[in-house]
Structure 1
């Protein structure tokens, strides 16, 4: 997995995730979507060596973003936005990417977690619990994006295990095997941002 902060960086291999600080403050879903799409077109154009106006992003029936132009690239796309950060993931297999901000004031919604996740979270030191929850949630969001289901799939129906500061595993009874993913932390305007990405083979 390659991580980049620069939208103009070209990945030597895929999968790759670009986490770009935009300093933008989108006020609604439409502005967030416009910001994501614009950044994705810029990154894809650089990666493919074409013009931005030759890149078009659409959505499939489930709402997952896809590269509509240029066609037949074989690339899978995932997008996320949070607090002015835009995440763009590209891979040769389905993938999901999510970006979340650590909120030390919010109580984790434990009823949306798998029982194993609840137990693991309760074992974490209180002052680290918000950060651990955010890592869990970013991983869960990335996983359902990779599946193409979003949270039509109940978040408590599968379990994320945090393996280290930079890795996690997803155990899903409906999947033939466990999947692994990558985590990254960054600062943005004094706030800690967690990003997660997972690649799911077809």
Structure 2
């Protein structure tokens, strides 16, 4: 997996994820969507070697982003926005990306997790729990985005295992094989530390 930090970078191969610090502070869903879409169009134009006005992003009925134009690119997309960071993931197969702020204060919402994830967090040291939860939740969001269903799929119905600081595995009883993804920690240029996760799935 390629991780890129510059809006002007072109990936030499796919899959790839761009994590772009924009410095923006969107205040609502509409502003976040505009920021995501503008950043994604710029990146896609650079990657495909075309003008930004030639890039058209649409959505399928479930809300997953689609590259409507240029046609026949074969690219599959996923976007995320958090704390001024825009994540754009591209691959020739279903892909999902998410970014979560690491909240050092507050209570971890264990009730939305799979029992195996709750057990893992229960065993973690208190100081490490916020980071572990952010990684798990980013991985869960990335996975349901790659599935194309979002959290219409109950988050407790599948389990994320953190294999290392840079890798995770998803065990899902509805799919015959486990899937593996990639993790990264980054800062947004301010005080926020964020956990990013991306996963690419085989076609069902």
Shift of 1:104: 1.1
- CA offsets, 1:20-76, max 9 Å, x none? 000001110000000000000000000000000000101000000110111110000
- State the TM-score, normalized to the length of structure 2: 0.98
2:133 is matched with 133
2:149 is matched with 149
Shift of 1:190: 2.0
1:124 is matched with 124
CA contact (8 A) 2:158 2:171 kept: yes
The answer for unaligned runs of 5 or more in structure 2 is none
CA distance in 2, matches of 1:152, 1:94: 17
CA distance in 1, matches of 2:111, 2:183: 23
1:31 is matched with 31
Q: How many matched pairs?
A: 202
Shift of 1:106: 2.3
Matched, 1:198 2:199: yes
CA distance in 1, matches of 2:124, 2:13: 36
2:40 is matched with 40
- State the TM-score, normalized to the length of structure 1: 0.99
CA distance in 2, matches of 1:119, 1:97: 25
CA distance in 1, matches of 2:184, 2:106: 21
CA distance in 1, matches of 2:130, 2:155: 18
1:108 is matched with 108
CA distance in 2, matches of 1:142, 1:52: 26
SS in 2 for 1:90: strand
SS in 2 for 1:6: coil
